[in-house]
Amino acid sequence: MKTLFNKTPFLALFVFSLLIFSCKTTVQRVDETTVTDLSGRWNETDSRLTAEEITTELMQHPWYNTYTSQNNGERPVIIVGMITNKSHEHIPAETFSKDIEKEIINSGRMRLVQAGAKREELRAERADQQNYASESSMKSFGLEQGADFMLQGTINSIVDQAGKEKTIFYQINLELSNLETNEKVWIGDKKIKKYLGKKKLK
């Protein structure tokens, strides 16, 4: 009995070690453009593809050619405003906004100006330069590039579930408005529907 008692802790430790080893999570790096959909929730692929498609639609709409023809071919200046998450889940709207901003800049067909807290940070730095930077290097006030249009939007979702089957429908709506007149010049949307279950839908 004494021998068995002495061996029991070591046996338990051995079994515990096997359990830990067998439950170890495998981690591997994958390309950032790889489509992954583990949970069915909104993910980085949805954000990236939606930003790409909706920005392309934005530039192909007649408002763009109308603006450039009326302004001697100048590129419109865009500011990305509030994109509000009204869906059932937590979606980092800022990440989606940044994907849109990236597409706008990379298109080369529109100009983008800073918005929100980052714009205030720029202004604070400019104010600081008035006191501490040399006269030749300080940046002046009143020379900011004003935006011609503001892009705003919402992210909505509808969940339909029966038993172990579920569909999640996302609708992303964006609107472009003329900052001087408040006129809406473009409305675009992107719809995403996901099925979670054991069936293979056609």
* 120 in any annotated domain: yes
Q: For 51-64, how does the pLDDT look when each residue is reduced to its tens digit (9 = 90+)?
A: 999 999 999 999 99
User: Containing domain of residue 56, as a range?
Assistant: 41-196
**CA separation (Å) from 51 to 88, 106, 116?**
20, 12, 20
Overall number of domains in the chain: 1
The string of DSSP letters for 135-174 reads TTTPPPSS-----SEEEEEEEEEEEEEETTEEEEEEEEEE
Can you give the CATH number for the domain in which 123 is found?
A: 3.40.50
Task: Look at residue 114 and tell me if it is in a domain.
Answer: yes
What tens digit of pLDDT does each residue of 113-123 get? 999 899 999 99
- Does residue 4 sit in helix, strand or coil? helix
Contact 28, 156 (CB under 8 A): no
Q: Tell me if 167 sits within 8 A of 157, measured CB to CB.
A: no
Q: CA of 44: how far to CAs of 170, 186, 197, in Å?
A: 14, 25, 21
Please check whether residue 17 lies inside any domain of the structure. Answer: no
Q: How far is CA 56 from CA 176, 188, 197, in A?
A: 14, 10, 33
Q: Could you tell me if residue 4 is inside a domain?
A: no
Residue 32 lies in a domain: no
Q: What is the pLDDT along the chain (202 residues), one digit of tens a residue?
A: 555 445 566 666 665 665 655 556 676 665 666 666 667 788 888 899 999 999 999 999 999 999 999 999 999 999 999 999 999 989 888 899 999 999 999 999 999 999 989 999 999 999 999 999 999 999 999 999 999 999 999 999 999 988 888 899 999 999 999 999 999 999 999 999 998 887 776 6
- Tokens 């590039």 sit at which residue? 145
Condensed to tens digits (0 to 9), the pLDDT of residues 121-151 reads 999 999 999 999 999 999 999 999 999 999 9
Classify residue 1: in a domain, yes or no. Answer: no
Residue at 51 is within a domain: yes
* Euclidean distance between the first and the last CA atom of the chain, given in angstroms as a whole number: 65
> Residue 146 domain-assigned?
yes
